[in-house]
Amino acid sequence: MPERRHCSVGRREGPSMAQRGYPGIHAGMPTAQYLRSAIVVNGAPQIKIKSEAA
């Protein structure tokens, strides 16, 4: 029974993450924020996330 549950959770999170296109969406990593900021800023001098993340 526990194995079936694990499979269900992994399968449900699999397509969810792929659909969003974020590697650490559920982990809350700064990757999504950095990507979003970079796209919105478009290479502007407002990329503070890079400095903070680094």
Write the pLDDT tens digit of every residue in 2-53.
455 444 444 455 555 445 555 544 555 556 666 666 555 555 555 555 555 5
Question: What pLDDT, on the 0 to 100 scale, is given for residue 27?
Answer: 53
Question: What pLDDT, on the 0 to 100 scale, is given for residue 8?
Answer: 47
47/52 Cα distance (integer angstroms): 9
- Find tokens 């400095």 and name the residue: 51
Range 13-46 burial, b when 16+ CB lie within 10 A, else e: eeeeeeeeebeeeeeeeeebeeeebeeeeeeeee
Question: What pLDDT, on the 0 to 100 scale, is given for residue 28?
Answer: 52
Question: What pLDDT, on the 0 to 100 scale, is given for residue 10?
Answer: 47
17/24 Cα distance (integer angstroms): 8
